[in-house]
Amino acid sequence: MLITPATPYRDQIITLLATERLPFDDLPKRLDNFFVMLAEDAVIAVAGMEVYGRSTLLRSVVVKNEYRNQGIATQMIEKVMEAARSKELARVFLLTETAKDYFLNNGFEIINREVVPPLVKRSSEFSTVCPSTATVMLKTLI
């Protein structure tokens, strides 16, 4: 299995996100900060980030059902974190409705929505896509 830039795989990403009931309507036109994992030329996982100043929003983390519990999500998130570090980003935010414990176990902490920088709050994830009841989390990189 191979982790690679997501740009050529937009249609497969949308299909995977839709299948797993994750938002895809607001997927950025350019997927420069997104990665996929391929198995036999098919997208089996995706993770990406949207950059806002020195912060980033981790989003669209999903693994195809039959490939779960193999550490793939962790590999995908680490790839995004590596990209964030290479861009010298300071903080990674995320919103989750179902994976709070997973992210707690991967170095994120729960934070109050009010401390999120205004730029990040203006993202579609914060402003329209995710409900106000979603858990807001943070991982500090530097």
Query: What is the reported pLDDT for 127?
Result: 77
DSSP letters spanning 88-137? T--EEEEEESS-HHHHHTTT-EE--GGGS-HHHHTSHIIIIIS-TTSEEE
Max Cα distance, the chain (Å): 43
Query: What is the reported pLDDT for 129?
Result: 73
Query: What is the reported pLDDT for 75?
Result: 96
Query: What is the reported pLDDT for 3?
Result: 95
Query: What is the reported pLDDT for 97?
Result: 87
Amino acid at 51: V
> How many Å apart are CA 97 and CA 32, to the nearest integer?
25
> How many Å apart are CA 70 and CA 82, to the nearest integer?
20
The residue extents of the domains of the chain are 2-140
Structural tokens at position 36: 């996929």
Amino acid at 134: A
CATH classification for the domain delimited by 2-140, as one of 3.50.50.60, 3.10.20.30, 3.40.630.30, 3.30.413.10:
3.40.630.30
Query: What is the reported pLDDT for 72?
Result: 96
- Which of 44, 45, 78, 57 is closest to 130 using CA atoms? 57
Instruction: Provide the 8-state DSSP code for 17.
Output: H
pLDDT tens for the 142 residues of the chain, in order = 889 999 999 999 999 999 988 888 889 888 999 999 999 989 999 999 999 999 999 999 999 999 999 999 999 999 999 999 999 999 999 999 889 999 999 999 999 999 999 999 988 888 777 777 889 999 999 7
Query: What is the reported pLDDT for 98?
Result: 86
